[in-house]
């Protein structure tokens, strides 16, 4: 497996570019299928969150893979390729694995250590499996990334650096608009981020909570979970007029345009008469709340852009170094296992060839010595097999060890050359067609 990652995130692109590049609706599914259908890609997965868009692919050609995936990202995001390219990052093989493991641990998140990324990675893998674009390679890789992320959270205090965008956002809200406890709140949206926001508000002491969503049934289910004594469903069309009756709004929908207009916020502020500003926490990408709200007196808007600036100025967590070491160790172990696995078909093919040679020679012995008694025949057979096994044991064990080291792929080729192994036999053992890339185990788009 030759892993390639092409993507952009809050670290490489301003929020304005991320907002324009945001993939919504059926676009992520179409991008995933188009990526898996390209000539250089055997498997593909897409990690699409509010602050990152990343394509993970098993490719047979690096430069062609980068070009094709970059072009697809530009096409589906609607951002011109020349502009997008300046914000893209590319990671390959071990560096790509290191990037994914870092992402899983929250090291690459806007809020370092946030745990929600593990759920997003799990969703990305599930989507690739559902669409039959992920095979054995990406399945194993993502499952290992999830294990590494869980290890980082269980063995270190990285969680203390930041639980989620919601908690970090609410800290910024509290700093500018007072404590969350006792506030009247409105959550717009009922997806995973909005549900987390609603639950966090209740834990923070909010006892009057409105939930508005495009699909009322989802809002009703969230109210049932939170409790009708705390939360109520609000018709999405009534959000503008409800702004005047709340102290805090959290919005995170999948809408392609503005959900909360500056004019509605201005009208709500004028009619509130409260000493604290109307606080709005916008966690959507593209943004739900009109950027012009930043300029309104009596309103406090905290969005992904302001969260990025706030987190850049915050002190780092003491456990980050420990998690970084965990990631490095896990990348080394994963790479060694992958390299060792690549030589296994060659070793199996070698032993199979040796077995065939033994069988052929024993057959010749039978024809030359037809009167040989069974006891002697069995002893000769065992002796020949032991000799062959002992001769092959040391080189096959050693070649596995050497293959697990960086640059070890050449040892498999040397073994095939020295013993004149049939390439078709090696490919048959590995389960790949001669001259082709490994096929997705769950089906494929190609």
Surface-to-core class of residue 137, CB atoms within 10 Å of its CB (0-12 exposed, 13-18 middle, 19+ buried): buried
Cβ pair 180, 319 in contact under 8 A: no
Quick one: the chain helix, strand, coil %, rounded to 5?
Answer: 55, 15, 30
Distance from C-alpha of 438 to C-alpha of 3, rounded to nearest angstrom: 13
Whole-angstrom distance, CA of residue 65 vs CA of residue 35: 9
Residue 148: count other Cβ atoms within 10 Å of its Cβ: 25
State which H helix or E strand residue 91 sits in.
strand 89-92
Cα–Cα distance measured from residue 382 to residue 142, given in angstroms and rounded to the nearest whole number? 45
Distance set, CA 370 to CA 306, 357, 360 (Å): 89, 20, 15
Distance of CA 220 to the CA centre of its chain: 30
Is residue 105 part of the annotated active site? The answer reads: no
Question: Could you give the C-alpha distances from 428 to 189, 258, 424, in angstroms and in order?
Answer: 51, 55, 6
d(CA 243, CA 341): 59
How many helices and strands (H and E) does the chain possess? 17, 10
Query: Of 230, 45, 237, 55, nearest to 143 (Cα)?
Result: 45
For 371, phi then psi, to 5°, come to: -95, 5
Q: Which of 50, 55, 173, 185 is catalytic?
A: 50
Do the beta carbons of residue 285 and residue 22 sit within 8 Å? yes
Count of CA atoms in the C-beta half-sphere (13 A) of 316: 11
Among candidate residues 160, 164, 35, 148, the one with its CA nearest the CA of residue 100: 148
Give the β-pairing of 278-282 and 248-251: parallel
Alpha helices, DSSP H, located in 255-319: 262-272, 304-312
In whole angstroms, give the CA distance from residue 66 to residue 78: 18
Cα atoms found within 13 Å of the Cα of residue 181, Cβ hemisphere only: 3
Structural contact between residues 252 and 260, judged by C-beta atoms closer than 8 angstroms: no
Q: Which residues are catalytic?
A: 50
């Amino acid at each position: 497996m030759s892993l390639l990652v092409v993507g952009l995130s809050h670290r490489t692109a301003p929020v304005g570019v991320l907002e324009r590049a945001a993939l919504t609706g059926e676009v992520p599914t179409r991008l995933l299928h188009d990526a898996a259908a390209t000539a250089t890609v055997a498997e593909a997965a897409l990690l699409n969150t509010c602050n990152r868009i990343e394509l993970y692919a098993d490719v047979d050609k690096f430069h062609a893979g980068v070009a094709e995936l970059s072009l697809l990202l530009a096409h589906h995001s609607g951002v011109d390729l020349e502009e997008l390219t300046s914000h893209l990052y590319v990671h390959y093989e071990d560096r790509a694995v290191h990037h994914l493991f870092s992402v899983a641990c929250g090291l690459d998140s806007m809020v370092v250590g946030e745990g929600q990324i593990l759920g997003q990675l799990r969703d990305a893998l599930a989507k690739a499996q559902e669409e039959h674009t992920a095979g054995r390679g990406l399945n194993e890789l993502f499952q290992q990334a999830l294990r590494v992320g869980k290890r980082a959270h269980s063995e270190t205090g990285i969680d203390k650096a930041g639980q989620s965008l919601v908690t970090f956002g609410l800290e910024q809200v509290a700093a500018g608009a007072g404590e969350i406890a006792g506030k009247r709140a409105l959550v717009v949206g009922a997806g995973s981020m909005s549900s987390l926001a609603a639950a966090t508000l209740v834990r923070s002491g909010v006892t009057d909570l409105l939930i508005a969503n495009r699909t009322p049934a989802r809002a009703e289910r969230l109210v049932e979970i939170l409790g009708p004594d705390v939360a109520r469903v609000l018709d999405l069309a009534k959000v503008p007029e409800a702004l005047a009756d709340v102290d805090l709004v959290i919005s995170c929908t999948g809408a392609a345009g503005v959900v909360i207009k500056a004019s509605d916020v201005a009208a709500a502020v004028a009619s509130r008469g409260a000493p604290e500003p109307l606080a709005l926490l916008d966690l959507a990408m593209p943004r739900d709340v009109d950027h012009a709200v930043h300029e309104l007196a009596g309103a406090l808007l905290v969005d992904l852009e302001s969260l990025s600036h706030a987190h850049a100025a915050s002190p780092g967590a003491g456990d980050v170094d420990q998690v970084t070491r965990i990631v490095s160790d896990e990348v080394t172990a994963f790479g060694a296992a992958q390299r060792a696995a690549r030589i296994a078909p060659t070793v199996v093919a070698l032993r199979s060839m040796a077995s065939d040679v033994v069988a052929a020679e024993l057959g010749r012995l039978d024809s030359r010595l037809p009167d040989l008694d069974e006891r002697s025949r069995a002893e000769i057979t065992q002796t020949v097999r032991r000799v062959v096994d002992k001769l092959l044991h040391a080189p096959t064990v050693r070649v596995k060890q050497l293959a697990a080291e960086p640059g070890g792929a050449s040892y498999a080729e040397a073994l095939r050359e020295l013993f004149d192994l049939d390439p078709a036999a090696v490919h048959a053992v590995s389960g790949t067609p001669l001259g082709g890339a490994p096929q997705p185990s769950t089906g494929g788009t190609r």
